Chain A
Amino acid sequence: MIVNEKIAIDHGLKKDEYKKICNLLKRTPNITELGIFSAMWNEHCSYKSSRLHLKNLPTKGKKVIQGPGENAGVIDIDDNDAIVFKIESHNHPSFIEPYQGAATGVGGIMRDVFTMGARPIANLNSIHFGMPQHKKTKNLLRGVVHGIAAYGNCMGVPTIAGQTSFDNSYNGNILVNAMTLGLVKKNKIFYSKAAGLDKPVIYVGSKTGRDGIHGATMASEVFDEKIEEKKPTVQVGDPFTEKLLLEACLELMAGDSIIAIQDMGAAGLTSSSIEMASKGKLGIEINLNKVPCREAKMTPYEIMLSESQERMLIVLENGKEDMAKKIFDKWNLDFSIIGKTTNSKKIELYFDNNKVADIPVNTLVENSPMYDRKWKKTKLPKKNKINKNEFKNLKILNVLNKVLSSPNICSKEWIWRQYDHTVMGDTIQKPGGDAGVVRVHGTNKAVAASVDSSATYCWSHPLTGGKQIVCESWRNLISVGATPIAITNCLNFGNPENEKNMGEFVECVQGLGEASKYLDFPVVSGNVSFYNQTKDKGIKPTPSIGGVGLIKNYTKMVTLDFKKVDNLILVIGKTEGHLDQSIFARDILNEKKGPPPEVNLFNEKNNGETLLKLIDKGYVKAAHDVSLGGIIVAIAKMSIKGKKGIKVKKPNYLINQFEYLFGEDQGRYIIEIEKNDIKKIKEILDKSSVHYDELGIVTEKDLIIDEKTKVSVDELITFNTNWLTDYINK
C-alpha cells in the first residue's frame, strides 16, 4: 500500500502533520512507519495540546524521587521505602465496551507501577456516569464495576477507595480513571531508560494479537454514531496472565540483570521501544518475526500497533538471557529476544529479512507536534441571589433525606463490596471513609490514598475548581491522620480544538498547580484524556486528583465514625454558608448559577496542619472533611458509620439555618473530641488562629437539630443505602 495524505488522515493525523512527517523523513513513509507515527503523535501519547501547560505544574519536592515522565511517580516514605503511584484514564474504551475497557484500565495502571519494580499494594478508581435514567447508564455502571472487580480481585490487590458520580454531561462519554500504589525499596526502582550497546531487547508476557489496534488513536477522537464499529479497538484483559507477569517480573527484578523495563500500554510495542530508545539516546533494532504472535500472518503494521495486554519490554544485561528465560518459563510466559540496542538512534524493524521501518527516534519524540491551542478564559460567575424565602417551604429532614439518597451522595457500598478490599492483609481503612489506608507491610507505617474530582465546581469556574480538588484531596488525607505528600492527576476534558474546552483545561491546570504549589503537594505523575466528547457535546471538565499521604504510626489513624456518646463535635474552619453550586442549590432548588465556593489556600493549609497536630496528640476521636452537602451530610455520614447520633447546637453567629447546614464552604472538617480535652484543644486552635465552632454532642441514636427536627440513625441508614441497590435491581 502506498501511503498518501488521505491514508494519513484516516490514521487521525492532520494534513500538516503528515507533511511534517514526510519532511522529517525526507521521503514518504511506508504504511508501517505511518502507523508508528500516528500512534506516537496522537493526543493520547504525544500530549500535543497539553504539554505546554503541564510543564507549569509543580513536580518537585523533598519527598519526590521521580516526577512525571516515567511509568509512574515515586515518593519517599522513609526507611528506604518508596511509593510508586499513578492514575490513568480508560474512558473511551470503557464507553465502547465497559467490562473490558475498565478491566484493562486497571491492568494497565498496575503494569505501570510494577514496571518500576514496585509490588502493587492498593487500587483506587474514579468513575463517572451519565444520568441514572439514561438508557445506557445502568449497563455501563454494571460493566465497569464488574470489570474493575474482575481484574483487581484476580490480581490480589485490594481496591481501597474510589469515587462515583452521575451527571448528564457523561451521558455520551463515561469516565473510568484507575489508580494504583506500589511499594518498592528506594534502591530497587527500575526505569525505562535504555543504556549500553548491543544489549538484548526482550519481549515477555502474553502473545501479540490483533486486539486494540489503534486503541490510542481511538482514544484521541470524538465519538459519533458509528461508535459500535470501534469495538475491535478495545483491548481484552487477562488478569491471570498479568498476575504471572507481576510475579515473574518481580522475581527477575530481585537480581541485577535489568537495564531498562517498560510495559506495553497505549500504542504497544511502538511506544515502549521508542520510549526506551529515546530516553537512552540510543537506537533499537527489532526482528518482528521473533515477536510471539497469537494469530497467524500478522503484518509488521499489526504487530507494532497491537495493544494486546500483559506484555513487557526489557533491555537486559548481556549473558543474563538464560537465567531470565528460566524465570519466565517457570511462570509459563513467553520470553523472546526480539532485538538489540544500537547506536543508530533509529528504530529499525525487520520482517522476513526485509527492513520494514527505519525512523530516527527524535522525529517521533522530540519533533512530535506541540500546539499552543487557542483558549477562552472563564469569568467568575456573579453570585446567584437565591431567595431565602423559598427555604420556608422546605423541611430540613426532607431535604436531608433527599440529599442522602441522591445518586451522588448515597452509599456506594454496592460498588465497593464487589472489590476485594482486604486481600494482602494490610487494609486498615476500607472504602467508605475519607481515604483508604493500607499498612506498609511489616512496619508501623501506613499509606493513605484518596481520589477526588468536582466537575460542577470546575465547570462553573475552572480556576477555582482546579484549586478546590487539590484541597479536597489534601483534606481527605488529613482527615485520616496522614501527612499529604504528593498527587497524581488524570485530566479528563472535552475537545481541545474547541476554545472553551481548552480554556477549561488551561485554567483547571493553573488552579491545581497553584494549590499544589502552595500546599507543597507536588504532582508526580498523571495523564491527560481529551476528546471526551460526543459530536459537539463535551463532558464537564473533570480533573481527578489522586492524593497520597503517610501515617508514621498507624495506631494514630483516624476514622470518621462517631465513637462515644457525650463527646463534643467541632467544626474546624469558618462556615459562611456558600450555596451556589452546592448539592442543595442544584438538586433541591434547581439553581445552577453562581460561582463555586471560594478556596482560601492559607486557611486550607493552616486548618489542615493544625488538625494534624491535634491528631498527632491523640485528641481527635473521629474526623471527616466537609464537602458535598455541607455540614449536615458530613455529620449524617459520621452518624451512619458510628451508629450514633448527634445533637446539633445553634450556631453562635447569625446565619440562615439552611446555609449553615448545607453550605459548601471549603477548608472545613468535623471532629469529635473528649469533653475533657476541650481546653487544650482550644489553646492549640487559637494559637494557630484556626476558626472553629462547637457543633454539638454525640448522642445514643438520633440526629437532632431541634425539638421538632429529629431523625434516628436507622432511618438515616435507610435513606443512604437503598438508592443504589434499588436502582441496580430494578
Chain B
Amino acid sequence: MNSTVITFPGSNCDRDMDVALKKFGFKNQMVWHNDAELPKSDLVVLPGGFSYGDYLRCGSMASKSRIMQSVINFSKSGGMVMGVCNGFQILTEAELLPGVLLRNKYAEFICKNIFVKVNDNENNYFKNIQKNTLELHIAHNEGNYFCSNEQMNEIEDNNQIALLYCDEDGKINQSSNPNGASKNIAGIFNKEKNILGMMPHPERMIDKALSGEDGSLFFKNLINNLK
C-alpha cells in the first residue's frame, strides 16, 4: 500500500505520521506542499502541526497550497484522504469536510489522552476495527468542532460522524468532551466516507512505551481494509 504525507511549512507531526505508516506496512512518501503532483497513493495524509503558523484561521493558508489542488482532485475521484489535527482543520478550510474547528472552550491548549467512540463502521477507516472505544491522544488549541444546524442535520442523516469523545466506558457526555465540540464530535467523514478528518492523533499511540496502543489497532485495521 502506498501512502503520502504532505508537509506544509509548519507541519510538525509529519515525521510521526511517516513513522507510524511505515511501522504498519505502508510504503510512505513525504511530499512538499509546493509540489504539483501527488505520487501514486492509496492514502493521502495531512498531518498535524501549525501550517503557516496558523496565524490566520488554522489551516486556511495551507488549504490554498499548490499541492492541495491534487489532493482535492484525488479525493473527488474517491481517493482516501485523512487529516489529523491541523490536517482536519485544513480539510474543513478546503471545504472537503463541513464545519469548522473553533478555539477550545477553555481557550487553552490541551495535551492528554482521551477516549473516542467509533460511530460508524461502514467505511474503509474503521470497518472491522476490534474495539468500539479507542484511547487516543489529543494535542490542540482549536479542536472545538462547530457547524450550522443544516450541516449538522446533513452530517447526521448521512452518518458522517466518525468519532465521538466519550468516557472510558464509551458513554458520551459533557464531562468527556475536552474542547466543547458540538455533540462531542472528534472526527467526521465526507458524504462518501473516503475523506476523514479527526482531532485525535493515532500516530502517537503506536507503542506500549508511549501513551498506549490503540493507534496501532487503527493503523493495522486501516492497511488491512485497503488491501
Contact = CB atoms under 8 A, between A and B. Distances in A.
Contacts of A239: 50, 53
A156 interface: yes
A241 B34 CA distance: 17
B16 A238 contact: no
A554 B110 contact: no
B12 A155 contact: yes
Interface stretch (B127-135, B152-160, B203-211, B218-226): B203-211
B222 to A, nearest CB: 17
A432 to B, nearest CB: 11
Contacts of B49: 156
Interface stretch (A181-189, A413-421, A591-599, A698-706): A413-421
Given A154-B10, A240-B50, A420-B139, A425 B109 contact: no
A417 B109 CA distance: 7
B146 interface: no
A418 B48 CA distance: 16
Contact of A243 (B12, B108, B139, B204): B12
B109 A149 contact: yes
A424 B50 contact: no
Given A156-B13, A238-B53, A423-B13, A417 B111 contact: yes
B9 interface: yes
A128 interface: no
Nearest to B113: A422
Nearest to B203: A425
A257 B109 CA distance: 39
Given A239-B53, A240-B50, A423 B12 contact: yes
A412 interface: no
Interface string A407-437: 0000000001111111111111000000000
With most chain B CB atoms within 10 A of its CB, the pick from A156, A330, A416, A425 is A425
A57 to B, nearest CB: 36
A711 interface: no
Nearest to A431: B111
A425 B52 contact: no
Contact of A422 (B9, B20, B34, B139): B139
Contacts of A417: 108, 110-112
A232 B209 CA distance: 46
A331 B111 contact: no
A244 interface: yes
Contacts of A427: 210
Contact of B9 (A150, A331, A426, A555): A331
Interface residues of B, number: 32
A714 to B, nearest CB: 16
Contact of B50 (A154, A426, A554): A154
Interface in B136-167: 137, 139, 141
A422 B204 contact: yes
With most chain B CB atoms within 10 A of its CB, the pick from A238, A332, A422 is A422
Given A423-B13, A428-B209, A243 B50 contact: yes
A153 B16 contact: no
Given A422-B111, A422-B139, A240 B15 contact: no
Contacts of B137: 422
Nearest to A159: B111
Contacts of A423: 12-13, 16, 48, 139, 204
B111 A240 contact: no
Contacts of A424: 15-16
A425 B111 contact: no
A540 interface: no
A439 interface: yes
Nearest to A150: B109
B36 interface: no
Interface in B1-39: 9-10, 12-13, 15-16, 19-20, 34
Nearest to B49: A156
Nearest to B14: A156
B210 A425 contact: yes
Nearest to A425: B16
A243 B10 contact: yes
Given A156-B49, A244-B9, A418 B110 contact: yes
A425 B50 contact: no
Contacts of A243: 9-10, 12, 50
Interface in B168-214: 201, 203-204, 206-207, 209-211
A421 to B, nearest CB: 6
A240 B52 contact: yes
A419 B209 contact: no
A722 B210 CA distance: 27
Contact of B12 (A149, A156, A238, A421): A156
B28 to A, nearest CB: 14
Contacts of B13: 156, 423
B53 A420 contact: no
Nearest to A154: B50
A330 to B, nearest CB: 8
Interface in B44-58: 48-50, 52-55
A389 B116 CA distance: 55
B55 A240 contact: yes
Contacts of A439: 209
A11 to B, nearest CB: 35
B18 to A, nearest CB: 10
B10 A240 contact: yes
Given A331-B9, A418-B109, A425-B210, 13 more contacts: A149-B109, A150-B109, A155-B12, A156-B12, A239-B50, A243-B10, A243-B12, A418-B110, A423-B139, A423-B204, A425-B16, A425-B207, A439-B209
30 contacts: A146-B108, A149-B109, A153-B109, A154-B10, A156-B12, A156-B49, A156-B50, A239-B53, A240-B10, A240-B50, A240-B55, A243-B9, A243-B12, A331-B9, A332-B9, A416-B111, A417-B112, A418-B110, A419-B111, A420-B139, A422-B201, A423-B139, A423-B204, A425-B15, A425-B19, A425-B203, A425-B206, A425-B207, A428-B210, A554-B209
Ranked 3 nearest A-B pairs via Cβ: A156-B12, A240-B53, A425-B16
